[in-house]
Every structure is written in C-alpha cells, then in structure tokens.
Amino acid sequence: MKFKLNSEKIKSTVIATFKQFNPVFELRNPVMFVTEVAFLFSVVMAILPSYFGLPVTGNYPEFYFSVIILLFLTLLFANFSYAISEGKSKAIVASLRKLRKETLAHRLKSDGTIEEVKSSDLRKGDMFVVEKNEEIPTDGEVIDGSGYVSESSITGESRPVLRIVGDSVTGSTTLTTDRIKVRASSDPGETFIDKMIDLVNKSTREKTPNETALTAFLAGLTLIFLIVTASLYPLSDYMGISPNLMILIVLLICLIPTTIGALLSAIGIASINRISKYNIMAKSGKAVENAGDIDTIIVDKTGTITIGDRDAKKFYPAPGVDYSDFVKYCLMASIPDKTREGISIAKLARIEGAKISEDDVKEYTFLPFSAETKFSGIEKADESIIKGALSAIERKYGIKDQYIEGISKEISSRGGTALPVVRNGKFVGVIELADMLKPGIRERIESIKKMDIKTIMCTGDDEITAQQISLESGIDEYVANSTPMDKYQVVLLEKEKSRMVAMVGDGTNDAPALAKADVGLAMNSGTQAAKEAANMVDLDNDPTKLLDVIFLGKQVLITRGALTTFSFANDISKYFVILPAIFASFSSLSYINILDLTNPLLAITSALIFNTLIILALLPLALRGVTFRPASVSDILKRNIGLYGFGGVILPFIAIKVIYMLLLAGGVTW
C-alpha cells in the first residue's frame, strides 16, 4: 500500500501539521511542548523587549525576529514529520475501507434452501454458498468443497490461492473456480478488514513501551537542561554580563534533544506503515518492537523451512502386496481426504491406473487427519485403511515391520516424508511425499544466527527427517514428532530462560503457543482462533515472513537508537558554539571557541538554523529506517556509536561553520 501524493493528501497533511500546534497535542511530547512554550515566550519578548531587559539597539531586533522564525520552523518540521507519518496510516485505512462494501450473499436456510441476503445480514455461524466468480461476502471457514480464491484486493497478489475444507477465507475476496460452502466466523463490524482498520487507526495514537520509556527519559533531560539554562541567568549577572533571555532560550532549544523529540512519533508510526508493505497487519506497535528483541524463533518445517506443498511422488508396496492393489488402497483412503497431501495422493493414484470413485467409498467413515493422531483414513465394520506417520501407526496398532521402517528411513534421509499405509491392522506399503527446502532459506537462517538468535524447528515428521532438514537448513535445534502441546512447551521453556520468543502458526492447535509467544505470526488462511491469538497476521500466508518481521523490528530499534545517539551527540557540538558566544567577553573562555566564530549573535543564529534544518534532513531516514545488516548486538552498538555518535559530533561543527560563512557572505552581520 503506497502513499502517493495528490492535492487532497497535500492539503490534509498541511492541515494536520498546523493542528499539531495545539498545545494539547504538543503536551504528549515534552521536548516539543517546551519548544512551543519557548517560541511563544520569544514572540512576547520580541514585542516587549524593554520589559524583559533586552537590548533594542543595533542588530538585536533582527536577531530576535530570526529566532522567532527558526523556532516556528522547528515546530513546523516536527509537526510535519508526525503529520506525514499519520497521513500514510490514513491512506492505508482509506484503502481498507474501500474493500468494506455491501454485497449479496447466498445464505443456507435450515431446510437446505438458499435465500439471498445482504452481506451485513450474515451473522457468526451462518452458512452460505459462494459460486464461481462471486465475491465472498464475509469472513468464514470452508466446510465443503474447494476452489481458488483471488485475494488481490487485499494482498495485491494476482495469482489465486487454493482454499480447501478447514481453510479460512476473507470477506471481499473473490472465488475464481468451483463452488464452496462457508460458515461465517464473524459478525458485522468484527470482520478481518474491520479489525485491520481499527488496528491501523490505533497505531497512530498508541505509544509503544520503548517509545514511552524514551519519552520519559527525554522529558527528564529536558527538565535538567531547563534548570541548567535557568541557572545561567543569575550566573551571567554575577559575572557582570548582562543576561539576554532570548539567547538563553536559543541555548535551551539547541541543548534539549529536539532532533529525536521531533522525529520520535514519526518513527513509531512509520514502523506500522512499513510492516504493512510486507502485507502484514500488526495489532500494535509493541508487536513490531518485540520482534526487534527476539532471542528465539520457533517455526514449523512445512511451509517455513520447506516449500510445504508436499506432493505424492512414489508408491512402495510391501512384500507380497500387488502394486495395483496398494495404489487402489491409497486412492480409497485419499478420496475423502481434502488436504493438499490427500489430493496429491489421489491424483498420482489415478495416473497410476486406479479407478475408484467417491461412490465406492460412501459406506466408509472418514477419519480426518489431526495433529494429535497424525493419521487419516477410512473405516467400516469389516475393513479399515489408514495412512499416517510411522510412529503414530506403530503406536495405534502395536505393529513393527523392518521393510516399512527401512523404506521410511531411506525416504527421510533424502528430505522426503514417508507415509506408511495400513489395511486391517497390517502394513501394505509406503507413500513417498516429496518436499524441498525453500530457496534461500539457509542463507536467511544464517542471517538470523548472526544476530545471536536461536532457531528451533517443530515438525510432525520422524527423527530422521527432522535431523536431515535441520542439517540442510542450518537450524539450531529441532523437535521431531511434535504435537501442538510440544510447541506450547517449547515456548514455555524458552521464556523460562528469559528469552523473547517468536512463533508462526495457522491452526487452532497453534493458538496457545501463538498467544504465549512474544511475537505470534498467524496466516490469514489459518483458523480464526490462530488469528485471534497472534499479534500479527500475514495476508500472503507465507510463514517465512516471520524473518522479515524480525528484521523490521531490529530496524525500528536501530533507527530510534541511531537518531537518539545522533541527537545527543549534536548537543556536544552546539555547546561549544553557543557558550563561547554567551561569554564572549571573557577571553579566558576563548579556548572553547573551536570554530573561531567571532560574531556571537551570528554564531547563535547559525546553531539554531542547523538545529532546525537537521529535523527536516533526518525525516526521510526516520520514515524509511536505518539500513539494517544482520549482526550481533555488540556490532550494531559499535556501528551506531561510530557512525551516528561520532558523526553526530563532527557534522554540526562543519555545518554550523558553513552556515556562519554563508550568512557572512550574504551580508548578515548581526
């Protein structure tokens, strides 16, 4: 979602900028509130200089006027940074609101007939039918059928995605094929889009914990500098120097951290805006910042480390079992199985010549796959055909077979998934499901390791497959044969070590772990429970986005740290410019006049000009973020201190000297 300038947006940004001059708004930012009070006070002093004992001869009136203009611009640029960030959030909200429109829905009545109603009349639990090329009226879960859904209106991705039984669908997306039956999962006003609008709206108002802490710290510093500056008034008088309140105001504004104070809100809002570019909706700025502090990542194998669309590759019948019979058994067990694996097994079985229809398995009861049982299949009174994880089947039937174990280990050793099949309690063969590492996943894992983050993979696969995938991808630890409770326990164990934990999931059984993790990323195609438990939702349904979230979280923290370091470093330079100007009559202090600025008023003006312009200069960096390269915390700290600390000290000296010389060249002599 891009923020493109047009006349309306320019107008709204300008209006928002000037609205921020309201002291009630400025009060939430102590640094800028003090700056506004100083501006108003300077206006009064410029109007009544003699009342405040200010000199009115020579070039002093022009100096007072320049101070007023520069303080006004300082506030203007600070307010502009907030307004432009808020404008981007409003643009996101506006684009989401366009998706929220009234459509017709085909609601199923209790007698099985269909009635046409408005989408706003649908309630949680209602069932409705969506035909090919129709818009899905509200959020829900597919309970029958399958089809490809275009989610381009939300994600921008033009390629439709397959939605099968158990998957969730989002209102305002379009079914491009087939026919599905859906159970509504939300009431009007509580849909995914409604919640995203609310969340983005909130993101412009709520401060993150780190931002709140930094604001309090900046307020404390501002108070200290206020006391220090106020103490210079009697000190100047004691030293026989006629104290000039206007110069003391300039000193105060240049010494308090106006740079970071002006950009702080923009950084916080920009983090929400930037994450939306990844098609991720964060429920709070806190979630984004937590990502920057993550110590442990817990991921599933399928869809995160591997591509995830596991397709049936080959059938291995057990000794004594006819190949065609085994393929027929596999097809029978997979016809009612509407998972991606089940569909691929049925497809390969038909290619291999099996001719079983849905009518042939009508008498059977379908046993759906679950994370707890780890098997699925069909059964009736005198026959059962079950396919699933080797350990689960051995445990269920209490059987062992060396051939089946050998084939399963061989498949696992090359990174595939072995799916043994049992008929009437006896092994009849193994199905090989092929899965591949995601391109570039090893490099991304290595980047994570450079930041001292531990990676843990949870997978329902056996020990051999888990170990092989772990070695190939570079994962630190793995949990094989894992259940939803195992994931939750891993989160608990890591948090007991005082580690910040991130996790990705999409199922109802992932909800407890997602809720417990510091950063929980749910897939938009996942269940409602998973999306409610997580504090981020990925519209593209790409589990590897968790890595992008962590990089972004790090970038937000580094950006705030870099600009804070730069702001504090600036104060050192401005100190060596303004203090010599204040005490210019004392030759004993000339040694601190490093830049040899002989005109005190011009030196002070140059420092204030720099203090004002640096806010505007750093605004793009605050909105875009500091360039992030994966590295350890100590390396990042060294880089920040070296680049933004040392640079923050040197740049003002150079810039103020250049501004001073330009003012002299332009004929300004006060």
Which residue numbers are catalytic?
300
The rounded radius of gyration (Å) of the Cα atoms in the chain is: 33
* Structure-block tokens of residue 28: 């939430």
Q: Are 502 and 518 in contact (CB under 8 A)?
A: yes
* Structure-block tokens of residue 257: 């951290």
Looking from the CA of 247 toward its CB, the CA atoms found within 13 Å total: 25
E strand map for 136-222:
140-150, 161-163, 168-169, 174-175, 179-184
Cβ atoms < 10 Å from Cβ of 413: 12
Query: 564 to each of 265, 403, 638, 643, 652, how far by Cα in Å?
Result: 13, 65, 15, 12, 15
Contacts of 18 by beta carbon, 8 Å cutoff, 6+ apart: 79
The CB-based long-range contact list for 595-602 (8 Å cut-off, 24+ gap) reads: 595/653, 595/656, 595/657, 595/660, 597/656, 597/657, 597/660, 599/660, 599/664, 599/669, 599/670, 601/59, 601/60, 601/63, 601/670, 602/660, 602/663, 602/664, 602/668, 602/669, 602/670
| CA pair distance 492, 456, nearest whole angstrom | 13
Residue 415, phi-psi category: left (phi > 0), alpha (psi -120 to 50), beta (remainder): left
| CA pair distance 167, 149, nearest whole angstrom | 11
* Structure-block tokens of residue 348: 């390969």
Q: Look at the block and give the residue holding tokens 């880089």.
A: 639
* Structure-block tokens of residue 525: 């195609």
